[in-house]
Every structure is written in C-alpha cells, then in structure tokens.
Amino acid sequence: MNSPLVTTEWLASQTDLSGIFLLDVSVANVVGKTPISYDQLITIPNSYKVSVDRDLSNTEAVGVHVFPTEKQIQSVANNIGFNTQSTLVLYDDQGIYSSPRAWWIFKSFGFEHVFILDGGLPKWRAEGRMTDMVHLVPSGNIVSEDFKLDLSAVKTATDLLVNIETEASTVVDVRAADRFFGRVPEPRPGVRSGHIPKSSNLPFLKVLTSDGLTFKSPNELKVLFEAENFNPTASYIFSCGSGMTACIMLVAAILAGYENVCLYDGSWAEWGADRSLPIEV
C-alpha cells in the first residue's frame, strides 16, 4: 500500500490481526474544529493506547507537542512489541485529527508500514462495526532496534528564520484565517497574534470532507492545491498552532502527490511566544 491511508472496510476485512498493531492515538484537547465528545471510553477492538501528549511528545522540552526523543520511541515500541518493520494502523476518536501527527512521527523515525485509518473511530461506529470499552494490555516485549530521527522531517525556528530570507521553502500555516491574520486572540496565554512573515494560509479543514471525518479524495486535493498555486516540485513547510493540525495538511499534500514536505514542529505556539522573532498580521 502506497497511500498513507487505509479504509475502515480494509481494517474490518483483516480477520487475522497478528501482524498488525492497531494504535489509538486520540487526544483529549481538540483545537480548530468542533470536538466529538464521548461519555465513556469507546475503542476499536484489539487496539493499544499510545498517548500523543505523553508517549509521543517530549514533555521535558519547552513547548507544546514537541517531537519525541529516540528514547521515547524505543520505550513505546518495547512496551507494545513492534519495530520499524511492523505494520501500524493509527486511529483517533475525531475521525482525522491527531492520527496524522502520530503518523508523521513514526514515519520520521523510520517506520515504513504505518497507516492512518481514514475516518477513525467515528466512521467505524457509523458503519455499525463492533466496538469495545478497553485497550489491549501491552505485553512488554523488548525490541532490539535503534530508532533514529530523520532530521529533514522537522524544522526549527532557526530554520524558519533563515527561510524568511532565502524563501527556499513555502511555509503554509493551516490555522483558521482569523488567527493567521491576527483578528482574534490566540488561545494560549502569552502568544502573540499574527503569522510568520512570508507564510501563506490554508486552513486544515479545507482538506477534509464536509463532516470533518475523512480526507478529501486525492483528485480533490490536487485541485485544491493547484488553486492555491502549489508547485509539485517545490518544498513545503507546514505549521499550525502546536504542530498537530499541520500534519493533517502535510498528509493531504502527500495524498495529492507532493513529496518535498516537512513540519515546523514548534509552530505558532513557539514562534508567537518568542518576542525576538518577527511576525506579520
């Protein structure tokens, strides 16, 4: 499978999950779209819980949702028992929200067979498929593998500062237009309103279907990006509020055939809070 996505139909057809690790990567805090609320834990059967906020974020670093360390990836892999050759299927309880972030993290650490369940838990439930109320208990298998981060997958504020001068890459901010243009206050205390100089705005909801649960088709995404003057041979850096929803746009670009993509991990939570960095409104 070349696509980053798998369908609910495909997952339901996998009667033998012995070679597949199904990971619930839902997050508690949903920003930028109306959250789907749950009165109790609902899971897709035979899934493990991996916390994007704790397991896949460097909680010792300054910032929000900072990329995890190699040691953290090793810990998650050891806890559940998978490696870079394993097949991972990721889902979240909002349809498409945090699963693209987890996908980019695993891809950036060398996982080749990792996929996003398009539509996630909401689509699975809407189709009347079986659900559960628990996660699998990890077996604690030790994985003998060194995980290395592909440094080209993630950009820093310093990289972005240089890019303002060189314009080697196009920076795409996927926050809502009102936040991008500084018309509303930022949700995080101490963060300025506005955007990175010379960046463009394309809100992430535009790459999702009207219900916000699944990605638009690759052809629809190609038309969208062409209308925004995206160039398939150009380099793109995606940014958002904290590095979460930027990954939705990043995956959408990959679906549309764009290959030279990466993430500004600190995103506006970092840039807007650092008063030494320039902004535009």
- Catalytically annotated residues: 240
Task: Tell me if residue 83 falls in helix, strand or coil.
Answer: coil
User: Helix 246-255 to helix 99-108 angle, to the nearest 10 degrees?
Assistant: 70
Kindly state the tokens that stand for 176: 């809502």
Cα gap 228→231, rounded to integer Å: 9
Task: Tell me if residue 98 falls in helix, strand or coil.
Answer: coil
Beta-strand pair 20-24/87-91: parallel
The secondary structure of 155-224 as a DSSP string is E-HHHHHHHHHH--SEEEE-S-HHHHTTSS--SSTTPPSSB-TT-EE--GGGGB-TTSSSBPPHHHHHHH
